[in-house]
Every structure is written in C-alpha cells, then in structure tokens.
Amino acid sequence: MKRLVLAILSFLLPLCGFGQEKLGPSPVDEVGVYFQQDGKWTELPPEVVNWKTGGVIKSMSTMGVVKGDVNGKVKGGSSKTHLKKPIELLVYAPEGTSITEYQLIKFRTHSDSREFRTVTGGVFHQSGGAERDTIDFTGKHIAQRTWTISLDTIAPGEYGLLPPGMGDARSASAQLGKIYSFSLPKAE
C-alpha cells in the first residue's frame, strides 16, 4: 500500500507544480506596459482608442450576408512616447491573463490620427484579430504575470500594444478602449 501511495504521489506532484522552479515577483507593482529607460522600467502611458464600425450599410443592404469591419482610431499622428532601439517592453498582466492575449499593432498613420483594424468583415463571416495590422511577437515569462518582449527587428513607425478585450468592440460604434502606444523614429 505504501508503494502505491508513493507511486501515485511521484506521478501527481510534478503535475501540481511542486518541486518545479517558481517564478519570483514582478519588478513592477502595477498592471500595465513598461519600457526600459536608464536601466529602470518606465510606465508606457495608454492612449484612448475610439472604435468605429464600417460597412454597416453594406451589411444591412445585403441582409447580413456581408459583415462590417471594426477599426480603432487614436488621436494624433504620432505617439508622445518615442523609443530607441533596442526596444524591450515589460507587460505586467492582470490575474489570469497571458501574453498571447495581447496584440502588437502597427498603426496606419494620418496627419491627425493613427488607425488599425481589429475585425474584418466578409461574406457570411467576420474574422477577429487585427491580422492586417498585427505583428507577431514572443513574450518571455520572467516573473509571475510578467513577460518581456524584445522588438529589435521592427522598422521605424507607430506601434501599440493592445490589451485583451480591447479589440472586441463589435457591438457599438462609439466604444472607447485603450492601447499602449509608442513611436520608433527613423535613425538619423
């Protein structure tokens, strides 16, 4: 009987996380996105996203056969936060959230705004995710609820990190959200 209990425990303990290396505390205290500045993590301020839907008339006139788009719009042609390479972001996520739920966005810039698409409408369907404007990235899990993202290979431009749930504004045309934006100027 003792052998059976030991055998069961030796099987179950690794599955429960006992005996595995645990991640330490996060280097920051508040949920948000940070960037490295002078060896310290500095908060990347969020900007307000105004959601707008497109193709509503097209969707109505086709009785829902053609679905509409959902676009995010941020005021200003450029982020107030200008970063230099190498860029490393730190994300301290809310409890139960993973880095894979965030989207790295490359904005389409205008003189007075920046825009991106989160839902693309088609015939009979909508595809979620800002595929047209997203950039793949990999997060490195460094602490509890904390990941770093290295962005050494991105080109100059306007970018934002969209938190989970912010890209799901399908139901209203005037909802507000947030995005952590930054600018990577061209090297001089």
Q: Give me the domain span that covers residue 130.
A: 30-184
Decide if 25 is inside a domain.
no
6, part of any domain: no
**Domain assignment present for 24:** no
Match 């015939």 to its residue by tokens. 123
Asked if 72 and 51 touch (Cβ cutoff 8 Å), the reply is yes
Q: Is 77 left (phi over 0), alpha (psi -120 to 50) or beta?
A: alpha
Assess if residue 22 is contained within a domain: no
Q: Give the Cα separation of 117 and 134 in Å (integer).
A: 9
Asked whether the whole model's pTM tops 0.85, one would answer no
Q: Count of domains in the chain? A: 1
Kindly give the confidence (pLDDT) of every residue in the chain, 188 residues in length, as a single tens digit, with 9 standing for 90 and above.
666 665 665 655 555 544 445 788 899 999 999 999 888 999 999 999 998 877 555 444 544 444 567 789 999 999 999 999 999 999 999 999 999 999 999 999 999 999 998 765 544 444 444 467 889 999 999 999 999 999 999 999 999 999 997 555 444 445 679 999 999 998 76
Domain annotation covers residue 154:
yes
